[in-house]
Amino acid sequence: MSTAEVPVSNVLTSRAVKAGLVGGVVGVYVAAIGLVQRFDGRNAITGLISLGYVLYVAIALGTGFLASRKVRTLDDPGAPTTANIFVTGAIAGAVSGLFMVPFIWVIGQFEVRETFVNVSSALHDILTFEKGTGFAAMAWPLGGLALGALGAGFHPLVPRYRRPLLAGLLVVLFLSLMEPLVRVMLSDINKNVFAQVNLDIDEGWLYESGGMTIIGAVVIFAIAVAFTFRRFQKAEARLVALGGGPAPEEAEQTPLRRKISLGLLIVGLLILPQVVGSFPSEIIGVVGLYVLLGIGLNIVVGFAGMLDLGYVAFYAVGAYSVGILTSPASPLFAPQLSFWVALPIVLVITTIAGILIGAPVLRLRGDYLAIVTLGFGEMIRVIVQSDWASPMLGGAQGLLRVPAPPFFGGELRDPQAIYYLILACVLLVAFVAYRVKSSRIGRAWNAMREDEQVAESMGISIIKTKLLAFGLGAALASFGGMIFAAKIGSLFPNTFLLIVSINVLAIIVLGGMGSIPGVVVGAFVLVGIPEVLREFGEYRLLFYGLLLMVIMILRPEGVLPDVRRKRELHEAELEDEVLLAAAAVGGGALPGGARS
Amino acid sequence: MSLLEVTGMMKHFGGVKAVDGVDFTANEGEILAIIGPNGAGKTTVFNILTGFYTPDEGTMSFDGNSLIGLLPNQVTALGISRTFQAVRLFANMTVLENAMVGQHCRTHWGIFGAVLGLPAERKEEKEIETKARDCLRFFGKRLTGPREDELASALSYADRRRLEIARAMATEPKLLLLDEPAAGFTPKEKEEIVELIGRLRDERGYAIIIIEHDMPVVKNVSDRVIALDYGKKIAEGTYNEVASNERVIEAYLGARHKESA
């Protein structure tokens, strides 16, 4: 132990300092770009802490946690002791706090606003807790020390306690961030549901002046912890029962329980817009449109393995087709069909558009395909804006007065009504994708994704299979476009930007390639949350990038991966272990090459 | 009439004459071995036959159809199936799915059938599964039972080679092209593959063309042997005839004929 102890503490100290410096840089960065000041305007827990300080608490906790994680090398110089871990976390936290001190001093002494527009005296006040630079110079390192140690404290905790604790913190943070949305939802639920039975439970117990109440935070935290703890216990029991083997997910769900939960889910989905009110329904609607696009793109990228960056083209074709067919204001050709008559026609049009765009790129793969499809995506918008197409499509002035879908005398325009149309389409599109995935065509896509040449020599027509993917992907995307046109009522070329394609791609990467539930999760995270957090709009892309990076590092298969992908990555780990073991024994029987 | 007739097959890559005017035939129920030193053009012959390359000159007819200008999938549909020198499975599909892919060209239901769940489509899926299982069963326990649902990448090297053959079998070929099926095998596995190739012919009725470097395997498995060197056919006949041919010994086996274990 005496020989091993020195290297362990050496490794840990250097890592603590490094992590502390990184934490410090992040701390200065978020202050310099104005994030702290903006966040400080919002309470996390009213009367206790603002979101700005939550940011720093999170940085310090994270620094301590990351600095003290287990050393994983083949020649592990011995496991760090619990004391080691706490000291490492504390050092890291203190270093990150210390890093802030000169920054605070500089912005207090000098006027740097010329260069750093966000560095104001208000920021200085926040960072010194309005108690002067001297106090800040003490408070930051000491606070960092304490929080860093606390962050490191997550390691010695067994997962059974760590997971629930983490879940509790995250849920509280999430709910305080989502205050604008949840607040409206709660007040609507009070109005729509509780008022019916003469109850008056408004949102006052949970939120107060933009943040959570202390009582609300404690209650939510307790509920989240208890719930996660219970789930974890069950999972553990199941693992033990199976003798440590991996537990199949559905094992504990009896058919009856499944049916009941499915039924509850359907009822929940049906009454959702009535319960939560108009504003949340609007957001759910936008998320739903992206789910439609995501499932469609998943066919092209996730199933068939073709990286399409111009997917917005099909969204646009769907939207404009329905616009031309239904709007009385369509400049050149205005048959003024009903939405429902136009729908099958548009499906045919977009399928053909998908095949037409797919045909020239049949021979391209990977990056080349991505670049060409990117071009196609832009072309559609440029064509709509062009002098040639403007008289037909309205150009930059837009294609206006697209009518809402008529429905039994009324029409589906307000968010709560169009929600049902979106829901129906999502279910339909998900069903189609799910069925096709496990069919003969799905297998062919899968094979083509794995090895195009071999798939071809196994009798799969690459031309036909690729065009099927493009055609179906385009048709599914057109559902999104059609509903978008009917919902908004006017179409402008600048709606169909490259960023839409990128968003949809990010959604399926985040959710998990080839996974249909993953698309739903991805759309909620990447579209729903930013819709709610509009006040932090300018920082949207920053979080976007950060989130994608974190996901790619921690869970490269996505949040809710396709079973196959999960196994693929998992088995790679297993294989590595086997190889390492084989290397350790010194006898890896590798297949010999052919002689001549 | 022969099942496959190739005359004057020629393929040049720039100045390299990979295949330079080769004639050969393959008959029904026959196992033909193609031997030759590295770079003799053996795999190129396979790539031309299966439509990966178009020959510069020559004719190829299979079962009464010309193979010239056909895409690989069309060749497979006519009844020629192959394995690859370096095993190329669909690594992230299960063993059963790999074999099921082979059935693709013998079946026809598409997106609409699958979405609507038509009884006929269901029935076809069942048949695909049954036929794929049947091909896997040819290799005994190695590819059946719980193995069916393993990923192809989880199989041992020898089982990957076996699965590649099973996948080729699932396309219901008349002619099977095996590219070095015994490469990297242990002596015991080689014995087994010899027996297996014999059974493929006897039980399944395939004509087989095999590229192989291992002389004992060639000796035990083949009815007829042709030897290639620098893209040209230099000998043809039974194993003994070819093995004692002067040009073959010179070109391929070296000055003195040695049989490596």
Q: Give the pLDDT confidence of B223-242 residue by residue, as tens digits.
A: 999 999 999 999 999 999 99
Task: Encode pLDDT of A408-448 as tens digits.
Answer: 878 888 888 899 999 999 999 999 999 999 999 999 999 99
Do strands B207-211 and B80-82 pair parallel, antiparallel, or not at all (unpaired)?
Answer: unpaired
| CB atoms A594 and B104 under 8 Å | no
Residue A42 lies in a domain: yes
The least confident of A168-172, A191-195, A400-404, A499-503 is A191-195
10 Å CB burial of residue A47 (0-12, 13-18, 19+) is exposed
* pLDDT > 90? residue A559: no
Distance CA B171, CA B99 (A): 9
Distance CA A309, CA A503 (A): 10
Task: Encode pLDDT of A304-327 as tens digits.
Answer: 999 999 999 999 999 999 999 999
Low-confidence ranges of chain B (pLDDT < 70): 1, 252-261
pLDDT range class, residue A392, cuts 50, 70, 90: confident
Task: Encode pLDDT of A325-382 as tens digits.
Answer: 999 988 888 898 999 999 999 999 999 999 999 999 888 888 899 999 999 999 988 9
Cβ atoms within 10 A of the Cβ of B205, count?
10
Q: How many domains does chain A have?
A: 2
pLDDT range class, residue A2, cuts 50, 70, 90: very low
By C-alpha distance, which of B75, B176, B67 is closest to A457?
B75
pLDDT of residue A72: 52
Cβ atoms within 10 A of the Cβ of A41, count?
13
A452 is in which domain, residue-wise?
A: 278-501
User: How many angstroms separate the CA of residue A458 from the nearest CA in chain B?
Assistant: 6
Residue A177 lies in a domain: no
Hey, what amino acid is at A306? M
Q: Which residue has the higher pLDDT, A61 or A236?
A: A61
* Domain C-terminal end among A139, A156, A173: A156
* Domain C-terminal end among A121, A140, A156: A156
pLDDT of residue A533: 79
Cβ within 8 Å of A, B 28-67: 37-38, 50-52
Task: Encode pLDDT of A71-88 as tens digits.
Answer: 554 445 556 678 888 888
Q: Would you call B156 an interface residue with chain A, using a CB distance cutoff of 8 Å?
A: no
In angstroms, the Cα distances linking A31 to A22, A171, A473, A538, A572 are 14, 25, 43, 15, 41
User: Which residue in chain A is spatially nearest to B211 when comparing CA positions?
Assistant: A594
Distance CA A407, CA B164 (A): 55
Domain boundaries, chain B: 1-79+174-261, 92-172
pLDDT of residue A588: 35
What's the rounded mean pLDDT across residues A283-291?
94
pLDDT of residue A566: 63
| CB atoms B213 and A595 under 8 Å | yes
Residue A185 lies in a domain: no
Q: Is the ipTM of this complex over 0.95?
A: no
| CB atoms A441 and B71 under 8 Å | no
CB under 8 Å to B236, separation ≥6 — which residues? B24, B224, B225, B226, B227, B242
CB under 8 Å to B201, separation ≥6 — which residues? B29, B30, B31, B207, B208
Task: Encode pLDDT of A215-266 as tens digits.
Answer: 889 999 999 999 988 888 887 777 776 655 554 454 455 788 888 888 898 8
User: How many angstroms separate the CA of residue A585 from the nearest CA in chain B?
Assistant: 19
User: Which residue in chain A is spatially nearest to B181 when comparing CA positions?
Assistant: A594
Residue A544 lies in a domain: no
Cβ atoms of A502 and A416 closer than 8 Å: no
Of B72, B85, B151, the CB nearest to A457: B72
In SS3 terms, A164-175 reads as: HHHHHHHHHHHH
Distance CA A539, CA A529 (A): 13
Indicate the CATH number for domain B1-79+174-261.
3.40.50.300
Residue A272 lies in a domain: no
Is A318 in the same domain as A463?
Answer: yes
Residue A567 lies in a domain: no
| CB atoms B77 and A455 under 8 Å | no
Residue A578 lies in a domain: no
By C-alpha distance, which of A24, A32, A293, A13 is closest to A143?
A24
User: How many angstroms separate the CA of residue A434 from the nearest CA in chain B?
Assistant: 8
Task: Encode pLDDT of A88-120 as tens digits.
Answer: 899 999 999 999 999 999 988 888 888 888 888
pLDDT of residue B88: 94
